[in-house]
Structure 1
Amino acid sequence: MSNDDPRDASLESKFVLPNTWYRDDADSLSTSGVFFSGLVMVTRNRYLAWPGVLFALNSAINQHTLRAKEGSGGALGNLTLSFMALLASYIPFVTVTAAKIS
């Protein structure tokens, strides 16, 4: 028999399940980032946008594709939402001008 024959009993190895990174729980910092971004949109408090951006960046940096569930959105949507909330909170400083009283 050849050494590379798969039917050779001496080439057998014990079956071992692979180590996986799959986890079923949600990422709480990512959820907090979405919450802060929504809160910025509702309250128009621009100071709440910064923690949302930090949480979204943390979620994007700590993202593992092998840990993600099938069909999960990932961190890109959270990152986009937080930057849009930051932009929406600071855009009135650029577009709205004070009216002159004559």
Structure 2
Amino acid sequence: MSKALDDPRDASLETKYCVPGTWYSENFDGIGTSGMFLSGLIMVTRNRYIAWPSVLFGISSAINVHPLRAKDGGGGAGTLSNLLLCFGALIAAYLPMLMISNVSNATTAPLPTP
């Protein structure tokens, strides 16, 4: 009798497939993706002016994470890496201003004329 209840081929034991209630849908974070794209663009072009919107997108993505609406926990680690990438791009954009000195404007002694 217990064998009949455990038989996977028994049609009376079938249940309808349904997604668990905690899975909303595949979570697409457009703001986080935009922040990561801008961070990559900053690393390539060294444009300081788009570093600030990238940081704002990263902070917004970190604040608006919904761990129960997505499969696999909602990407808490992905949000942290996105935020670190945005801040890293901000630092990479402003770091050359602090490290590179403008040597061409330095006063030098004139060359002696023969």
Give CA-to-partner distance per residue, 1:35-75, whole Å, 9 cap, x none. 00000001110111111111110000001222243274431
Q: Which has the larger Rg? A: 2
What is the root-mean-square deviation of aligned Cα atoms in Å? 2.0
SS state at 2:49 partner: helix
Gaps of 5+ in 1: 1-16
> Could you tell me the TM-score, scaled by structure 2's length?
0.67
Runs of 4+ in 1 over 3 A off after TM superposition: none
Q: How many correspondences in the alignment?
A: 86
Distance 1:23 1:58 in 2: 20
8 Å Cα contact 1:63/1:74 also seen in 2: no
Give the % identical residues.
53
> Could you tell me the TM-score, scaled by structure 1's length?
0.74
Give CA-to-partner distance per residue, 1:59-92, whole Å, 9 cap, x none. 0000122224327443100000000000000001
Gaps of 5+ in 2: 1-18, 109-114
The structure with more helix, counted as a fraction of residues: 2
